[in-house]
Amino acid sequence: MHLDKLLKQPNALPSAPKVVRKLIESFDQDEVDPMRIAALIEDDPVLTARLLKTANSAFFGLTRNVTNAREAMSVLGLIKVRALVIAASLGEGFHAVAGVNLNQFWRYSLNTANLSRYIALPIRIDENTAFTSGLIHGIGELVMHAGMPEAMLELDRSVPLLDLKRSKAERGLFGYSYAEVGAALAKEWNFPKRMIDAIHHQTAPFENDVYEPIAGVVHIGSWRARAEEQSMRSELLINTYPDPVGLVLGIDPDTVVAEEIPSISRHADLVGGSDDDEGA
């Protein structure tokens, strides 16, 4: 299916709720009041409940449960809370996707977000954009599964969703990948251009005259998160490390090929639901 046709499928690109639209607008504001954002989030009980579920999950390891968005904001900070609510809204738009284990998908996505921020900080790249882009970088997979389920289920059997060769396999079949589809959704929801570009170019951040550092950060973050899901260790980590991208960004490879990285957690029960939350 051509990309234009996919994007016109019913429910392929869910609409952004009013609260989320306001959150996205805040990315371009010079000064943002975290408590005002928290109050805005609390206007939507469903998104608030999803935020609290994720914030109180074992992934974040809080010493006490947070009971409202203001407490979550105080403990986790604006960057994480805003991104988690946006992701929760996207999760609501794709709450059942055939063939996709949504719990694993969101665990992987949150790992990518944390890793992207971890990578961005020492090389002075905006951690806010890195974290948010990392969290939603794979949303195109859900759009593709929702819009052309039979073709995607066939692909899933030969190249699993989180395989390192996934984007290459999708381009070979369709002429595009989850990156282009995710960027289309980000554009539909009026994300800042730097985030749209980061998602669009994440699989090839420095090819064909493209230079998008945040895309490079997400590229390496998603590689490491996929490696974690596949339990890669030692030589496999070293052999699959995207060295050309790391060199351009000036990343010390030892910081991301280590078997244990503080930014990675394998705990479940995140944005997407329970351990057995897989579309039928």
| pLDDT tens digits, 177-228 | 999 999 999 999 999 999 999 999 999 999 888 889 999 999 999 999 999 9
Query: What confidence tier does 73 reach under pLDDT thresholds 50, 70, 90?
Result: very high
CA gap 127, 113 in Å, rounded: 10
Which two tokens mark 200?
């669009």
95 versus 164: which is more confidently predicted? Answer: 164
| Mean pLDDT taken over the chain | 90
Structure tokens of 96? 């059942």
- The terminus-to-terminus CA distance of the chain in angstroms comes to 22
Confidence of residue 229 (pLDDT cuts 50, 70, 90): very high
Average pLDDT value for residue range 30-47: 93
Residue pair 148/6 in contact (Cβ under 8 Å)? The answer is yes
Q: Is 99 a residue whose pLDDT tops 80? A: yes
For residue 22, the one-letter residue type is K
- The whole-number average pLDDT for the span 62-82 is 93
- pLDDT (0 to 100) of residue 265: 64
**pLDDT at position 268:** 46
Identify whether the C-beta of residue 103 lies closer than 8 Å to the C-beta of residue 269: yes
The full set of domain ranges for the chain reads 13-93, 97-280
101, 185 in Cβ contact below 8 A?
no
Among the ranges given (91-105, 164-178, 204-218), the one the predictor scored with the smallest mean pLDDT: 91-105
Tell me what pLDDT residue 270 has.
54
pLDDT at 271: 56
Q: What's the rounded Cα separation, in Å, for the pair 259 and 116?
A: 17
| pLDDT for the residue numbered 262 | 73
Q: What is the CATH number of domain 97-280?
A: 1.10.3210.10
| Contact yes or no for 38/73 (Cβ under 8 A) | yes
Contacts of 11 (CB under 8 A, 6+ apart): 93, 146
Residue that is written with structure tokens 């709450």 in the block: 95
